[in-house]
Amino acid sequence: METKDILSRRGIAPSLTRLKIYEYLRAASHPSVDEIYQNLKEEIPTLSKTTVYNTLHLFVEKDLAKALFTDFSKNRYDIKDVPHAHFHCTECDEIHDIHEITPPRIAEDAIEGYLAKEAQLTLKGVCPRCRRQNTNSQ
Amino acid sequence: METKDILSRRGIAPSLTRLKIYEYLRAASHPSVDEIYQNLKEEIPTLSKTTVYNTLHLFVEKDLAKALFTDFSKNRYDIKDVPHAHFHCTECDEIHDIHEITPPRIAEDAIEGYLAKEAQLTLKGVCPRCRRQNTNSQ
DNA sequence: AAATAAAACTGTAATGATTACAAGGGGGTG
DNA sequence: CACCCCCTTGTAATCATTACAGTTTTATTT
Ligand SMILES: [Mn+2]
Ligand SMILES: [Mn+2]
Ligand SMILES: [Zn+2]
Ligand SMILES: [Zn+2]
């Protein structure tokens, strides 16, 4: 399906800016607002960072994207897609998709009294590349 | 075990400030830096917010506490204790412990190439109190 | 095609969390 | 008492995010 249609079907007008932000988010790996902004402003020189914020908020509201849970100070975003876990490398701060492990599927009423909508599973540790570098430099 | 000993055995000098911060963190529910600061400065009028930051960083480094993964702008902290999941209410922004569900126990080498150290499982939705309020106000 | 209204986008300023850094202070050791 | 270490403090700088008002673009109506 075309990006244009993905946005339209969620009631989002498919402006050029929104298409580009959506496609960047889809292709990149859990980018921050600033990463999106820095990269797209080459193509769209008039782009404003506020627009990136606005657009991501819109995507999250319309359930096209989600903000990742992290413990560093800037948010990362991800396309809503097949469920998967995330691995947060504490050395390089990259976030990798882990499809071998999935967050448990929680029914909305699984926890007495609560209304559960979404589950995120995040692992923390050292990624393959950083492990290799550590070994080599010893 | 006394708080003093808990700190000492990790190689942390048990100063009054550190004891109080540790005990606040233990008793409170996933406080932010500012919450800890605001509450403790009644008892310790000379307390500096920098000290709260320093102390929490130290606790995390020494594996006494951990920073929670969230998608809002200020970090929340938790005592390292029995594994449990967290529920993040999108209405009131409170974080509740969920002991009925636990993050999967991941072996260090569970994912090919990675070194996994820790797993956090976070649910998102509406907490019981906010659900009741929503119903009442309709 | 001009007029109008709605929506999208921009730039700047304000806010808030976090970090950087340099200096103050207090207790133990010689 | 002098010295040192490390805990603590206060201020300034940095960075992410939000608030907001104004401008541009797009769609709709006349
Ligand atoms: Mn992902
Ligand atoms: Mn907890
Ligand atoms: Zn890495
Ligand atoms: Zn709530």
Q: Which residues of B22-55 are buried (b: 16+ CB within 10 A; e: fewer)?
A: bebbeebebbbbebbbeebeeeeeebeeebbeeb
Positions in chain D where some atom is under 7 Å from a protein CB: 6-11, 15-20, 26
- Model pLDDT for residues B40-72, shown as the tens digit of each residue: 999 999 999 999 999 999 999 999 999 999 988
B73 contact residues in A (CB cutoff 8 A): 73
Residue whose CA lies closest to nucleotide C20 C1': B50
Polymer length of chain A: 138
pLDDT reading at A138 higher than 90: no
DSSP B82: S
**Which window residues (2-21, chain A) lie with Cβ within 7 Å of strand C?**
12-13, 15-18
Report if CB B70 to strand D is under 7 Å.
no
pLDDT reading at B84 higher than 90: yes
Determine what percent of chain A is predicted with pLDDT higher than 70.
Answer: 98
Contact B121 A104 (CB under 8 A): yes
pLDDT reading at B137 higher than 80: no
For domain B82-138, give the fold.
Answer: Dna Ligase; domain 1 (3.30.1490)
- C-beta separation of B43 from B57 below 8 A: no
User: Nearest ligand, CA of residue B67?
Assistant: 2
B70 contact residues in A (CB cutoff 8 A): 69-71
pLDDT reading at A46 higher than 80: yes
Contact B71 A73 (CB under 8 A): no
Name the nucleotide nearest A72; use CA and C1'.
C18
pLDDT reading at B12 higher than 70: yes
Name the pTM for this structure: 0.92
Boundaries of every domain in chain A = 1-78, 82-138
| CATH node for A1-78 | 1.10.10.10
- Per the prediction, chain B carries an average pLDDT of 94
User: In chain A, which residue's Cα lies nearest the Cα of B106?
Assistant: A123
Determine what percent of chain B is predicted with pLDDT higher than 90.
Answer: 91
Cα A20 to averaged position of ligand 1 atoms, centre (Å): 19
Using only C-alpha atoms, chain A has a radius of gyration, in whole angstroms, of: 17
Q: What DSSP assignment string belongs to A23-57?
A: HHHHHSSS-BHHHHHHHHHHH-TT--HHHHHHHHH
> Chain A contact for B75, CB < 8 A?
yes
Short-list B128, B52, B53, B59, CA closest to B89:
B128
> Chain A contact for B69, CB < 8 A?
yes
Separation of alpha carbons B15 and B128, rounded Å? 39
- C-beta separation of A36 from A21 below 8 A: yes
Report if CB B73 to strand C is under 7 Å.
yes
A11 dihedral zone (left: phi>0; alpha: psi -120 to 50; beta): left
- C-beta separation of B77 from B65 below 8 A: yes
